[in-house]
Amino acid sequence: MAPPDRGDTPRDTGVLAQAGIAEDSNMRHSAEELASWLEFLLHPEEHEYDRTVIYGTEFGGPGHKKEEPGPVAPTSSDQPGTVPSDAQLPFESVLEGYHVSQFIHGMSAVGSPVVESPTNALAPGAATLHNIWWIGGKGIPSLVDQFQQLGWEGDASKLTFDFLLRLQTVAAQVHLLAEQLHPVVPKYAVIIKGVRHNLKQAADAAVAAFEKKFAEKPETDISIDWGAAILAGIAAAAVTYVTAGGGIILISAMTSAWSTAFTDAAGDLLKPGDGAPVTGTLWRDLAHSYLDKQAEILTAGKNEIDQLNRTVQNALDMFNSDPDIQQFIKDFGAET
């Protein structure tokens, strides 16, 4: 149910565009519905319904504020139990001081990364890490074994074989680093997917709570459950990342297989959770409850990404401090 005389899309969609929530985003409809309700609640001057009426100012006092559901009584009427007309008492929004952008801040934070589409930048990265891992663990050792079977002798052969042995030592170290980094790429993608899922579900719960409050005007707490996904533990979890065969993966092959592999990884890591419901009696209570959920979701996602970032940084530190790798780069690296 949309607000009176409004649709599920806000009159001003610029706030959604500015937040980077694209029209084809799976969060877009939820963001639109939430923004439409917020736009309605933040502009009581445009309608005769829910507002905060300021009582007592006619006597020179500071004024007592109270939520009133409306509709506002006409100026000429004197109907018991109705809200005094705007001409008689000042009023403000039930969410005075808030802005729509605060409520879609979370969706804005994860609106841009492309993680599910086969054309995303993570698929080639996953293929590259797999290839580095495979070359270090299988490719170079196989090359060393085959070289010894060539029957090539002489000084050039010895120099080449010595180089391959050094390369094998370095490749083995890089293999260990790539083994740590190999599952990081799908984990980044799954965390973004999980954050988006939770933010969308929380926004839907907030809209459901707004609809219930407007239609039923309950005097006790509204409580709306939402289907949370557990984000904690993704960074530390084991991931079976299905790849095409046991050897080198072409970038094009990885790109075409990404959606399936990503869906499998997401299914393994995103478990159903019990998120605390969106609750409250007053409009501001419901808003606070939703904003708390938004902050909790973003914090959980950030904590998981921070753990992945530490994994990447540790691998880079190991690479930069490994004497065999650094000496090999010094001896055989390209001159700059």
The full DSSP string for 261-301 is: HHHHHHHHH-EE--PPPEEESSHHHHHHHHHHHHHHHHHHH
Residue 171 has pLDDT above 80, yes or no: no
The per-residue pLDDT for 90 is 86
* Distances 58 to 64, 72, 92, 332 between C-alpha atoms, Å: 11, 18, 16, 86
For residue 173, what pLDDT band results from cuts at 50, 70 and 90? Answer: confident
Average pLDDT over residues 54-75: 72
For residue 244, what pLDDT band results from cuts at 50, 70 and 90? Answer: very low
Average pLDDT over residues 17-41: 94
**What is 21-82 written as a DSSP string?**
--TTSTTHHHHHHHHHHHHHHH-GGGSSSSEEEEESGGGTS--EEEEE--PBPPTT---TTS
The per-residue pLDDT for 61 is 56
Q: Which domain does 218 fall in, by range?
A: 122-332
Mean pLDDT of the chain, nearest integer = 83
Is position 116 within any domain?
no
Q: Which of 109, 134, 151 is the last residue of a domain?
A: 109
Is position 281 within any domain?
yes
Q: Where does residue 160 rank: exposed (0-12), middle (13-18), buried (19+ CB within 10 A)?
A: middle
Is position 272 within any domain?
yes
The per-residue pLDDT for 283 is 97
Residues 84 and 137 in one domain: no
Residues 105 and 132 in one domain: no
Is position 88 within any domain?
yes
Residues 128 and 158 in one domain: yes
Residues 54 and 151 in one domain: no
Percent of the chain residues topping a pLDDT of 90: 40
Average pLDDT over residues 201-210: 97
Residue 75 has pLDDT above 60, yes or no: no
Residues 212 and 325 in one domain: yes
The per-residue pLDDT for 335 is 54
Residues 173 and 35 in one domain: no
Residues 163 and 91 in one domain: no
199 close to 106: Cβ distance less than 8 angstroms? yes
Q: Which of 109, 143, 172 is the last residue of a domain?
A: 109
Helix (H, G, I), strand (E, B) or coil at 308: helix
More confident residue, 316 or 62: 316
Count of structural domains, the chain: 2
Is position 282 within any domain?
yes
Least trusted range by pLDDT, from 48-52, 91-95, 184-188 = 184-188
187 close to 149: Cβ distance less than 8 angstroms? no
The per-residue pLDDT for 151 is 65
Q: Which of 46, 77, 109 is the last residue of a domain?
A: 109
Average pLDDT over residues 327-333: 78
Is position 24 within any domain?
yes
- pTM equals 0.81
Residues 143 and 276 in one domain: yes
Average pLDDT over residues 139-160: 73
More confident residue, 133 or 294: 294
The per-residue pLDDT for 57 is 59
